[in-house]
Chains A and B, each alone.
Chain A
Amino acid sequence: MENRRKKVLVIGVIGADVHAVGNKILYHAFTDAGFEVINLGVMVSQEEYIAAAIESDADAIVVSSLYGQGELDCRGMREKCEEAGLKGIPLVVGGNIVIGKQRFEDVEQRFRAMGFDRVFPPGTAPETTIAALRELLHMDGEAV
């Protein structure tokens, strides 16, 4: 029989973005931290994240965007999740998610308004994201 199920994350780089390195690093970091990681790789559409999350009963979706078009690519994702029956699934986004010099607080606010639960600026260490996921998924105190 299976033991307590690992928390399942669906990760990938959204849109027409082919930055593959950070995606691989995150995959290894999350796996080492004890998550079950479904890595969709690069050029992932919103629908692909959602399909993978439904099939695997995922606990959270982690979206990366490195090419500055993140805001366009992420628009409507929360609504699509709701529509697909993934009610309230935690959505996390990070990377170079917007173009130009903008105050991160403003960027964060905009992504929060789009329904993302956590928003991370460029240069975030994987450990920070892992800590945030543990908090979001109420894993504090759990040995993973």
Chain B
Amino acid sequence: MSAVLLIDFGSTYTKLTAVDVETERLLGTASAYTTVTTDINEGLEAARRRLEEEIGHRHFDACYACSSAAGGLRMVTSGLVPELTGEAARLASLGAGAKVVGVYAFELTEDDLEEIAAAQPDIFLLVGGTDGGNTACILHNAQMLSRLRPAFPIVVAGNRTAARQCQRLLAGWEVYLCPNVMPKFGVLHIEPTQKQIREIFLSRIIQAKGLSRAQSLLSDILMPTPSAVLQAVELLAQGCEGEEGIGELVAVDVGGATTDVYSVADGMPQEMNTVYKGLPEPYAKRTVEGDIGMRYSVQGIVEAAGLSRVGALSGLTPQRVEQLTAQLRQYPDCVPAGDGELEQLDFALASCAVEEAVRRHAGTISETYTMMGRTFVQEGKNLTGVRQIVVTGGSLIHTGRTAEIAARALYDPAHPESLRPKTAEIWVDQKYILAAMGLLASRYPQTALRIMKKELRHHGYSE
């Protein structure tokens, strides 16, 4: 038999998943605290010992890892028009698994430069102009960046006419040239840039983040964790040769600091009288809500949903909600563990987190009257026809009310403008294997898909 070890170096936990690729079975999972400040191997070894306690000593034929430790992959982007190349740069970075810590549009100013220097991104993505279009902005921005001390790699993926000149302006910097993220107006071409970002992550950032000490153990695949999750949900939706997927889906990962939403779906208008506006979005789309999280970002949930709504859902008074959330912010490793009040609050917070994050991810529709009658304008993806929802994250796994919380991702008649799934089957990633299966998918897509279909717990139908 042939065993593979999959590692997820998280910001808090290092999670291991052992898989037998011949029998297509999960052997076991284990985790321990991530030790990125001292030696990443300590946490890894601790997790390995726990895994051995569970499944015994085992030889692994291969070992793949993903990481979001040490802040993950932090990126800053700059484009020309915010809704066009600005948005294309943001979508490209998010899809590559990055945490986007700064988004700029038009010409960079001296103040922007100071902010960028202070943000110290792992990668800067410089774009602007369609091919043959505007060159002035990207050249100006390259010129501005060249004033900084070279401290991070810059991926240039704008107007091809200006690419080489940008490279010359940035002499002394580590510069990578990629095809334009928006070669023609309204056309996204982000895959080559995403591939380049992952390569830089692999070759450069891993070392800078002290992960290289673990590298001797690893075979070769290394990617940012969100990128692994995206790969897993894409595979789960679309399937691969010899194994069918479950169809178009929405996946929600509610974490302590952020909430990630993925959609693998076409999402273009379904009716003849609907006009699409804005940039067409990627088939596999990821968004991250940095202000929506169960612990570090609990305040963002309360602000987005309102104290009274959290109160109503939890059955607690607004005053009590305020007290408890303050407590959660202070002690982020606090879990309900039988505490009824905290369980109720976590239920309300998770419900609001799912609702808000999916609402921001999904497209919208609005009604207008024209001389030709009633017409609809759609922006973003129409997910109403999606029939599968996958949920992960502690607050959704360790609760008896998963389906209830997940149902918040669905279409709400009170907010018909938000194009969320009308009815859906709920799948729960109860063993936290999504990222691991995304890693495994690079080499063994069929196996990864079959394990996911087996291990994700089907949690009924919601409408």
Contact = CB atoms under 8 A, between A and B. Distances in A.
Interface stretch (B78-86, B198-206, B217-225, B445-453): B78-86
Interface string B290-317: 0000000000000000000000000000
Given A54-B80, A55-B129, A43 B275 contact: yes
B83 A51 contact: yes
Interface in A4-44: 5-6, 8, 10, 16-19, 36, 38, 41-43
Majority secondary structure of chain B interface residues (helix, strand, loop or mixed): loop
A5 B182 CA distance: 18
Interface string B174-201: 0000000010111000000000000000
Nearest to B134: A57
Given A18-B370, A43-B277, A57-B129, A52 B375 contact: no
Contacts of B184: 38
Contact of A57 (B135, B371, B375): B135
A142 interface: no
A79 to B, nearest CB: 18
A56 interface: yes
Contact of A17 (B161, B182, B371): B371
B414 interface: no
A31 to B, nearest CB: 13
A10 B277 CA distance: 15
A17 B441 CA distance: 47
A38 B185 contact: yes
Majority secondary structure of chain A interface residues (helix, strand, loop or mixed): loop
A2 B83 contact: no
Given A43-B377, A52-B185, A5 B132 contact: yes
B377 to A, nearest CB: 7
B249 to A, nearest CB: 30
Contacts of A57: 129-130, 132-135
Given A51-B83, A56-B130, 17 more contacts: A6-B132, A10-B185, A16-B370, A16-B371, A17-B370, A42-B275, A43-B368, A43-B375, A52-B84, A52-B185, A54-B134, A55-B134, A56-B129, A56-B132, A56-B185, A57-B134, A67-B371
25 contacts: A6-B132, A8-B132, A8-B133, A16-B370, A17-B371, A18-B275, A38-B186, A41-B275, A43-B277, A43-B368, A52-B84, A54-B80, A55-B81, A55-B84, A55-B129, A55-B130, A55-B182, A55-B185, A56-B129, A56-B130, A56-B185, A57-B129, A57-B134, A58-B133, A68-B371
Interface of A: 2, 5-6, 8, 10, 16-19, 36, 38, 41-43, 48, 51-52, 54-58, 67-68
Interface of B: 80-81, 83-85, 128-130, 132-135, 161, 182, 184-186, 275, 277, 368-372, 375, 377
